[in-house]
Amino acid sequence: MNAILQMSARTLKIVLIVLPMLLYALYLWGVAADRYVSESVIAVHQDRGEGGIIPGAAMLLAGISSGSQQDTLYVREFVHSQDLLLRLDAKLKLREHFSAAGADLPYRLGVNDSLETFVGYYRARVNVQYDDRAALLRLRVEAFEPEFAQRLNQAILEDSEHFVNESSHRIARERLGFAEGELKLAEQRLLVARNGVLAFQNKNQLLDPTLQAQASGTLVAELEAARSRLEAELNGLRGFLNEEAYPVKALRSRIAATDKQIQIERARATRESQRGPRLSQMALDFQGLQMQAEFAGEAYKLALGAVENARIEATRKIKSLIVVEPPSRPQTAEFPRVVYNLATLFAICVLMYAIVRLVLATIREHMD
């Protein structure tokens, strides 16, 4: 402790400033390996063209519709994924490249390092910056050789494009399977509804009870009009003939026959008969069956259109990875930043020197 207190300012400068600066300078110029950075800018574009979609078919295709911004975030996570790292290592031998940095221990990957350490090292060498305003990804790939940095950047873009296409096609295939299932259900419902209409017609021996009821109502109205005309004619004859006159009896007989026919027609429409239910009830039942058949037919058309659109989406390229700026081939090493690092270390050393001087001066003052 006394030796430290007796150190001169010059000695402190050598120990706290000159020596660290000298050692770090020797490391930078003699040991540190150059690290090159290849940059690229990408974006995810989603084709939203709906020219061929049948109106209403999108209702059956509704699902998770992620925009370009969300897809770009997926790509960012994929770039740092362990699965991509393993594929890149098999393709480009990343572990071999990053472990061959000579004696530059701080930036070298150990040959026997664990997979978790390898993943962390890879994520430190591959920087992904997201621009939330333009929904762009800036990919900065660091390597010990300029050609390798460019090849690694290009390989990441190729696998990312495959990821984007495969994910969109997988979703489209799932939608196609769902739409085909809905089509089968709609076809079964349509068949059941049509069979119900046919069974009703065969059971009641009527093609359309609604038309039959309308015809019956029209006939009753015509019979009532004819009866009114007969009543008017009868009243006219009673003005100059007695009740026993043949024309009067004949008109009364025709009126009675007309009343009987009106009652029969009304009974057919409003009362139960031995042959089956009343015509009005049959008309209502038949209308219900017809509505079910029409609804089933519309649902079948909708499902058929959804299947066609899903099949188109499953085959076409829905999402694309747009390369705004292709991977660059660096000319000079970006790291280590010699001047910046030396200036930073010098500032830290001077600060430490000042702190140590202040502490030592305080201790000497209290000892005196």
Do 299 and 309 meet the contact criterion of CB atoms below 8 Å apart? Answer: no
CA dihedral of residues 350, 351, 354, 357 (deg, nearest 10)? -90
Residue 189's Cβ-side half-sphere holds a number of Cα atoms within 13 Å equal to 19
Report the largest interatomic distance among the alpha carbons of the chain, rounded to a whole angstrom: 161
**Beta partners for 131?**
136
Place of tokens 């970006």: 334
- In this structure, what DSSP letter does residue 316 have? S
Tokens of 129: 């910056």
pLDDT reported for residue 212: 63
The 10s digit of each residue's pLDDT in 273-316 is 444 456 667 777 878 888 888 888 888 888 888 888 777 666 66
Tokens of 3: 């030796």
pLDDT reported for residue 278: 61
Q: How many CB atoms lie within 10 A of CB 17?
A: 17
pTM of the model: 0.60
pLDDT reported for residue 266: 67
pLDDT reported for residue 318: 65
Do 94 and 152 meet the contact criterion of CB atoms below 8 Å apart? Answer: yes
Place of tokens 């694309």: 320
In which element (H, E) is residue 43 found? strand 36-46
* Integer CA distances (angstroms), 14 to 6, 321, 349, in order: 15, 56, 10
The 10s digit of each residue's pLDDT in 193-247 is 888 888 877 887 766 666 666 666 677 778 788 888 888 887 877 777 777 778 7
pLDDT reported for residue 211: 64
Measured between alpha carbons, how far apart are the two ends of the chain, in Å? 15
Ranges of residues in the chain with a pLDDT under 70 are 1-8, 47-68, 101-103, 206-217, 266-280, 312-318, 368
**Beta partners for 181?**
none
What 3-state DSSP class applies to 142? strand
- What are the helix and strand counts (H, E) for the chain? 13, 4
Contact residues for 213 (Cβ-Cβ < 8 A; gap 6+): 269, 279, 280, 282, 283
Tokens of 140: 């900065």
Residue type, 194: R
